[in-house]
Structure 1
Amino acid sequence: MTTGNGAGTGGVGTVPPTEIERALSAAVAGGSAEAVVELLARTRLYVLVARLHADIPGWTAPLPTVRDEATRRTCVPVLTQGMLPPWHPEWVFREVDLDELARTWPYDVRRLAVNHGTPYAAMVDARPGRLKAWLKAVERLGGPERGMLLTDSGGPLHGPLAHGLALGAHLAVTNGLIWNRLGAAYENYATDRARLRRPWGIQHRAEYRDRLA
């Protein structure tokens, strides 16, 4: 296990967005590949998908790949929750766990790039033997943790705005969202769409805009 782009413990003066990235940085700094895998086995991970592909009924886009210039290796990139970028109309994120990654892994890719190119990155060995270790870790630990209170260290923590956001903190915990992050809140794209269909009865974008009008 190595850190992506020589990173993993955060640059000078940087603060991890959430406890997830803080724990990942600590695991990478500790130098234990097993500790990193165990952390990822308990963590929601996200892959980028073009919205047009995500909207195809009954079809799941293959895992994306990128080239890591530091190691010259092809990797599958995933993000932890605190590193998800602002909402974009044409790109969405699909939630995955280490179990699904291991079972759908591209045969010719040997690295998992977590938070690639950021101060909170980890490059994880994904050779066939290690994929089996991923499956065992998920089975042993029970998969991603749910019902967590996630706080953005760069978001509002005090004052009227933080107090207002805190009114919805219980919903954020239930839905797996960061309670004090501003902007469009989104989770797993398929889950978000299902939630709009039921109970809200919204089937497509135009209908959503009509409801807001």
Structure 2
Amino acid sequence: MGTPIMGAAAQVPAWVPPTDVEWALFEAKKRQDWDGYLRVLFGTSTFAYAPKHLVDDDQLFAGLPYIAAHGSRFLAVYTRGELTAPRAGEVACDVSLPLAPYVWWGERLRGMVINPGTPTETFFPGARRKRRRWLALRDEVRPYEREGDTGALLTKYTGPLRGPLAVGLACGAHLSVHRRALWNDLTDVYADYRADTTILREAWGTSSRGQWRRQLDFLLAGRNSPPQPEFVLRVRRAIARRAPGAHTDSQLWQRLAVDTLRERGGTEAELAELRELILRIIRYEARFRADGLLPPDGYIASASGYDFGRAVSVARWGLGARYTEPAEAAAAVIQAGELCRRHYTSWADFSAGYTLGRVLRFDEESFGPMYASALAPHRILLDSPSSPWRTLPFQPLPT
């Protein structure tokens, strides 16, 4: 397949690989194991920067060239850990390797360069001619998507690992684990520019900065989810404060919640819905105890964690979609972390509240994908020694 050019950045002292992917690339490069290097690339997400206006207009993808020191032009491809801070007029787009023929534009591109300017930098001259060979090599690799649907905990070692920003990002880790995204990355895109803009548009009705900010503010205020669950949980918290142990009396809970709502002018239909909601919560909590989401005598104080946790993801998607700047996104993430610490006492407590908010909204007691996609990350985040839920103290804040 020809000999790749190792690049000028082959030896850099005291280098910290951003993720396990870059470390694997570095080791393969050091051995000059180019098939091994490519196998790593074919098993992970790769990106190229493109002019934003072309991507927004759905024009044919045109990756921006990298001009090497000797003047040759290469198509620059990056692994996720080596994506840069947002570039003016450019966006990071997912590209599948080996590159499709239409990606190669112009006749002056000599080939492809991986992670230019980093210790994993490698040039592949004539890469467009190696597509058949590389396709065969890619077929030997088992893509991560086929390893199961439980998710994966992925950490950026050069990202936030301590402090309020890391805590806030860890509050969004349910979705990061489920989607196999870096939990602590606030550099650029969450998935890629097109995916980030698509999910905001299709799932959140957001296609502008103003719409994005409104959705984010609703989440941070705990106002995206229906108010009824938080109302009945607040009634139970009051019972527990006044008479410890009495919160387990479901009839007392129903009676006080119904009486309170009736005093506020609730209709008979609304009162009936409230009674059924309390019974649903009781049934969910029983399942949570059986599955280890709650301790045997545990109960959930708030479901607002679902809004706060999603606020982290919406902030990150907003950054990837270019609706915000890194500083504003970071401030929202920190605020979400503080809100979680005001409503919960531990990571496990937060996770149970997040999951309850999720299933009450979307699961209809089916215990289907909406439940499984929260339960599996819960277990990974609580059990993995490298999880932020194991390495970061929760430190509850006063309400």
Q: TM-score, normalised by structure 2?
A: 0.47
* CA offsets 1:171-209 (integer angstroms, 9 cap, x no match): 113334321224665321111111011211113334324
Contact 2:154–2:181 at 8 Å: present in 1 too?
yes
2:158 is matched with 154
Query: Using the alignment, how far apart are the partners of 1:114 and 1:183 within structure 2?
Result: 19
Greater C-alpha Rg: 2
Distance 1:155 1:107, change over 3 A: closer
2:6 is matched with 3
Query: Using the alignment, how far apart are the partners of 1:63 and 1:88 within structure 2?
Result: 14
Contact 2:104–2:128 at 8 Å: present in 1 too?
no
Q: Which amino acid aligns with 2:17?
A: P
Q: CA RMSD in A?
A: 2.6
2:96 is matched with 97
- State percent identity of aligned pairs: 29
Q: Which runs of 4+ in 1 moved over 6 A?
A: none
Q: TM-score, normalised by structure 1?
A: 0.83
Query: Using the alignment, how far apart are the partners of 2:42 and 2:102 within structure 1?
Result: 14
Contact 1:111–1:125 at 8 Å: present in 2 too?
yes
Query: Using the alignment, how far apart are the partners of 2:189 and 2:47 within structure 1?
Result: 15
Distance 1:88 1:64, change over 3 A: closer
Query: Using the alignment, how far apart are the partners of 2:165 and 2:207 within structure 1?
Result: 32
**RCO (CA 8 Å, sep 6+): is it higher in 1 or 2?**
1
- Gapped regions of structure 2 (runs ≥ 5): 146-150, 218-399
* CA offsets 1:42-68 (integer angstroms, 9 cap, x no match): 1211111122111103x2332322221
2:362 is matched with none
Contact 2:50–2:62 at 8 Å: present in 1 too?
no
2:193 is matched with 189
- In proportion to residue count, which structure has more helix? 2
How much has 1:128 moved relative to structure 2?
Answer: 4.8
* Equivalent position SS for 2:140: helix
* CA offsets 1:11-39 (integer angstroms, 9 cap, x no match): 11111111111111111111122112211
Contact 1:102–1:135 at 8 Å: present in 2 too?
no
Contact 1:43–1:97 at 8 Å: present in 2 too?
no
Which range moves more in the overlay, 153-162 or 35-44? 153-162
- Gapped regions of structure 1 (runs ≥ 5): none
* Equivalent position SS for 1:124: strand
Aligned length: 208
Query: Using the alignment, how far apart are the partners of 1:97 and 1:172 within structure 2?
Result: 21
